[in-house]
Amino acid sequence: MKIRPKSKKIPAVFGLLILLVILFTGVFLINRFRSLNSSASSVISPQKIKITNIGSNFFAVSWITQNPSTGLVQFGENASLEELKKDIRDQNNSKSEKYQTHYILVDNLKAETKYFFKIISEGASFDNSQKPFEVTTGPTKIPTDNDIAQGRILTAEKQPATGVIVYLSIANAVTQSAITDSMGNWMIPLSLTRNLDLMTFSNYDRSAQVEEIFVQADSQTASVSLTTINDNPVPDILLGQNYNLLNQMPQISNTPAPLFQNPEEGSPSFGGFQQENASLSITSPAENEQINNSQPEFIGTAPKDQQLDIKIESEGEMSSNTVADQTGKWQWSPPSNLSPGPHTITVSYTDSGGFIRKVSRSFTVLAQGSSDLPSFTATPSGKLITPTTTPTSSLKITVSPSPSLAPTIPYRTSLPSTESGIYRSGTTLPTILFLGLGLIIILIGAALILF
């Protein structure tokens, strides 16, 4: 009779102990993984999201993040969200820079159309309670004037505050916003402000309407209460301060005139950052410049591919036209000699809304041999050297921890909740691996105990 060797068994208590140690280790590792993901998500999660400047073919989205991060808006007319928009400061850059304040103008849209969008922060997607944010554009309207509000934001040390978002609210109207340029300047075309239903422009009082301005920087805010008589320009605003200017007379500040005097519904400019559809300007010659050439070359910027009408006025009158190139630059020289003396050049075009956009520049042609100034000749080769121009107007928002004056935010420009902005890493592999490992551990532990 063959005697089978007695099998050895691990004591049940010892096996159970091993199982518990393995289970606790697995739980710890899973929680650790989730904690790291949560920490990474919180520093790039969009906070204080605002939807502003809603018009017939554009709207603006702004937010802040705890750490500098890249920011994009992914949008479309349906849930597929096939288009992307970069930060307004990155329009001419090949890549997106990292900021704590984020400002994106979503333009070239259809009138009276619902759009969906998500925010992409540092490559992660954030939505509104597990569904895209929604914005509906208004009907096409043409403003009757070009009323603007403008000013300058400074740090506590009275240095220009760059990249600060400025929000301006008036009662029963869509909140407007802009972002400051390198000099701290901002500009908002108030004439584009619509009523909450978006059907018409706000019929606000051009001199007595109460306005609330809220400024949001990386970590500081400011607020101002004032009336429209004091908003062009608004006295300099220091970050960390709250102002009440409701009873003050208009003041004169150092804020330069805005670069964009005639904002249009089709291609708005909010702040000092130039959009893809460039503003009309003459960059050369300078105002009242003396030119030692009877056929000078004129250089400037305009919306790309836009045909421009040119008129030179002096004792006689000369008319011509030219077309801006794909980069929004134009150049032109008169076909015949200009007589010595003062002249004025006017460049104009009619925009899509029917407004005539024009800019003028005075200059003097010197008589031949009367000056040692160098002669500036035309460049038929078409090579264009354009002086770099710094926009002088832009807008930013600063939210103070406990502002005494809070802007009036209409329902269409309310702050969407970001509590549900869940960070999505793009893979569930770690969770599946840990779950599978846990099941295997449980089976091994049970086998050790039973057998």
Task: For each of the domains in the chain, give its residue range(s) and CATH number, in order of start.
Answer: 20-44+426-450 (no CATH), 48-137 (2.60.40.380), 281-365 (2.60.40.10)
Residues with Cβ within 8 Å of residue 21, at least 6 apart in sequence: none
pTM over 0.85: no
- The CA angle 35-38-42, to the nearest 5 degrees, is 140
* pLDDT tens for each residue of the chain, 451 residues long: 555 555 555 566 666 677 677 766 766 666 555 554 555 578 999 999 999 999 999 999 999 999 999 999 999 999 889 899 999 999 888 889 999 999 999 999 999 999 999 999 999 999 998 899 999 999 999 988 889 999 999 999 999 999 999 999 999 999 999 999 999 999 999 999 999 999 999 999 999 999 999 999 999 999 999 999 999 999 999 999 999 999 876 654 444 444 333 344 445 666 555 443 447 888 888 888 888 888 899 998 888 888 999 999 887 788 899 999 988 889 999 988 888 989 999 998 877 655 677 888 888 988 765 555 444 433 333 333 333 333 333 333 333 333 333 333 333 334 444 444 444 444 555 556 666 766 777 777 666 665 5
pLDDT at 405: 35
**Integer distance in angstroms from the first to the last C-alpha of the chain?**
25
438 sits in which H/E element: helix 429-450
Q: Which residues pair with 177 in a beta bridge?
A: 167
179 touches 101 (CB < 8 A): yes
Give the model's pLDDT for residue 369. 58
Q: What pLDDT score was predicted for residue 203? A: 94
Give Cα 422 to chain centroid, integer Å.
Answer: 23
pLDDT of residue 293: 86
pLDDT for 432 equals 64
Residue 112's pLDDT is 96
User: What pLDDT sits at residue 53?
Assistant: 97
What tokens were used for 14? 């010892």
Residue 429: partners with Cβ closer than 8 Å, 6 or more residues away: none
